[in-house]
Amino acid sequence: MSFTAELQDYTQNEAPKFIDSFVRTVVLEIGNRLVFRSPVGNPELWEMPAPPGYVGGRFRANWQYGFNVAPQGDLPIVDASGQASVSRITNGALGNPTDGITFIVNNLPYGERLEEGHSSQAPLGMIKLTELEFPEIVRMAKR
């Protein structure tokens, strides 16, 4: 096979696989960081008592994956461990093509306050910190 044919074969067959894997790795790492950096309500840290029956983990549960369309609304679930949220993001990232716009969103109304450091568990937020680490995430994905 000539060099030109090998190069053409690589650009048509191997490069798209590499790019696909690279994009998925970046999306999964961003999703993991957002989910596990999200604070889980801990009434022991609050100035006011928790409402009766309160269970933390709603914010962590509301990270949603979207492909070419941003998810709307919030989810009426709790996921203090973050495992269900990570699974949802993973299934979305692995089940969709990578040649579009990927959204990872949290539509709960108090998300902006959490991002601004309202929680002692996430004083630097989740999104800003992950954004600062983006070059590191890309380098890791290239390996």
97-123, pLDDT tens digit by residue? 999 999 999 999 999 999 999 999 999
Percent of all residues in the chain with a pLDDT value above 70, rounded to a whole number = 97
Instruction: Determine, yes or no, domain membership for 13.
Output: no
Alpha carbon dihedral 70, 72, 75, 81, in 10-degree steps, equals 30
**pTM assigned to the model:** 0.90
Q: Residue 143's pLDDT is what?
A: 87
- Residue 18 pLDDT class (50, 70, 90 cuts): confident
Instruction: Determine, yes or no, domain membership for 41.
Output: no
Instruction: Determine, yes or no, domain membership for 86.
Output: yes
Instruction: Determine, yes or no, domain membership for 25.
Output: no
CB-based contact 56:40 (threshold 8 Å): yes
Alpha helices in 1-133 (DSSP H): 3-9, 15-37, 58-61, 83-95, 111-115, 127-132
Find the domain containing 135 and state its range. Answer: 110-143
Q: Residue 112's pLDDT is what?
A: 97
Instruction: Determine, yes or no, domain membership for 100.
Output: yes
Q: How far apart are CA 61 and CA 77, in angstroms?
A: 6
- Residue 50 pLDDT class (50, 70, 90 cuts): very high
- Residue 61 pLDDT class (50, 70, 90 cuts): very high
Same domain for 68 and 91? yes
